[in-house]
């Protein structure tokens, strides 16, 4: 897989341009409140400022997070009205849908099918929080023969999912009532959502209220300990406020989940793009090792390094499997 296949540079650069403008428009005049590390609760240390957002790093668990951050109401307006949010929901999703289906969602549906079977949850109902364009729900439905319930707050994306014949609950997680969900055991999933959350612990506690004992939660998110983010740091395109606020890592995700009453069953980093991202952004690499490696390594050596990174918890794409105690 190559980065260009799933997020073409012209589309990604336009999204980043709009996000930078939106950061000033929606948050430039808003008040901001200090927040502690969302994983372990300690005060962070200043790391850098990007698009008016200050990022701190926890000295204990190395979580990277935005602090101080604007109130949640400002983010609600931003996600409803901003140009960058509209661009993601329309142009980005539309123009990359089929490439992402083949490269991301179909393999991910297969992988999750194997995971839930391994943990004995293959007959549970699947609930996709923030289902977006509905491609994962489509692909998982093909594999499992079972309908996926999609929770999607965006009206345009919810309508697209309905048009595909998917079962849709329109609203944010806070708006969902248990009676709207399937009866019986459930597996909740969310993809690339956790880095956006204003209050991750609050999200988990609300999710717990909707879960039965033993229900599973599987999610993917960005790991701030991943090779490409570590090497590029403030120049990483993944660090894109106001969209991305939290960068957990395998260690800190476990801390947060266990503190919130979940049993962590598996953490892994099955990413495939770290080295390709470094190749595409080598002018921003300050670390001499990675700069030399990217310039001198053969394609076979780069692929071998990517495999090592993924297998050893060092990719910026993280997968977490847990369940409610």
Q: What is the CATH number of the domain that holds 125?
A: 3.40.50.150
* 139-195 tens-digit pLDDT: 999 999 989 999 998 887 899 899 999 999 999 999 999 999 999 999 999 999 999
Residue with tokens 């009676």: 179
* 74-128 tens-digit pLDDT: 998 888 889 998 888 788 878 888 899 999 999 999 999 999 999 999 999 999 9
Phi, psi of 70 (to 5 degrees): -65, 165
DSSP 175: G
DSSP structure string for 191-241 = ES-GGG-S-HHHHHHHHHHHPPTT-EEEEEEEBTTSHHHHHHGGG-TT--T
Longest dimension (CA), the chain: 58
Phi, psi of 119 (to 5 degrees): -100, 15
Residue 310's pLDDT is what?
Answer: 98
pLDDT above 90 (res 40):
yes
Residue 225's pLDDT is what?
Answer: 98
Neighbouring CB atoms inside 10 A of 320's CB total 23
Give the chain's domain count.
1
pTM for this predicted structure: 0.94
By the 8 A CB rule, do 305 and 297 touch?
A: yes
Helix axes 135-144, 106-118, angle to 10 degrees: 50
Give the residue numbers spanning the domain of 198. 3-324
């Amino acid at each position: 897989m190559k980065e260009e296949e799933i997020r073409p540079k012209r589309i990604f650069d336009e999204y980043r341009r709009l996000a930078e403008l939106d950061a000033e428009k929606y948050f430039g005049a808003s008040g901001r409140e200090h927040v502690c590390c969302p994983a372990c609760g300690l005060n962070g240390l200043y790391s850098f400022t990007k698009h008016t957002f200050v990022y701190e790093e926890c000295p204990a668990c190395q979580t990277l997070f935005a602090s101080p951050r604007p109130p949640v109401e400002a983010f609600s307006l931003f996600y409803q009205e901003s140009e960058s949010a509209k661009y993601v929901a329309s142009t980005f999703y539309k123009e990359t849908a089929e490439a992402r289906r083949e490269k991301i969602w179909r393999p991910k549906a297969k992988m999750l099918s194997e995971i839930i079977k391994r943990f004995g949850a293959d007959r549970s109902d699947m609930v996709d929080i923030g289902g977006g364009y509905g491609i994962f729900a489509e692909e998982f439905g093909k594999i499992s023969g079972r309908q996926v319930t999609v929770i999607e707050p965006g009206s345009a994306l919810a309508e697209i999912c309905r048009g595909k014949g998917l079962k849709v609950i329109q609203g944010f997680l806070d708006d969902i009532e248990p009676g709207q969900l399937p009866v019986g055991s459930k597996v909740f999933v969310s993809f690339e959502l956790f880095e956006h959350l204003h209050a991750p612990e609050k999200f988990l506690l609300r999710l717990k209220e909707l879960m039965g004992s033993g229900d599973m939660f599987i999610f993917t998110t960005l790991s701030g300990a991943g090779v490409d983010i570590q090497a590029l740091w403030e120049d990483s395109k993944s660090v894109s406020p106001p969209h991305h606020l939290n960068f957990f890592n395998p260690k800190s995700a476990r801390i947060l989940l266990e503190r919130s009453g979940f049993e962590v069953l598996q953490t892994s980093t099955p990413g495939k793009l770290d080295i390709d991202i470094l190749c595409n952004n080598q002018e921003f690499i300050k670390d001499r090792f990675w700069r030399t490696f990217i310039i001198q390594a053969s394609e076979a050596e780069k692929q071998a390094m990517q495999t090592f990174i993924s297998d050893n918890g060092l990719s910026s794409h993280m997968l977490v499997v847990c369940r409610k105690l």
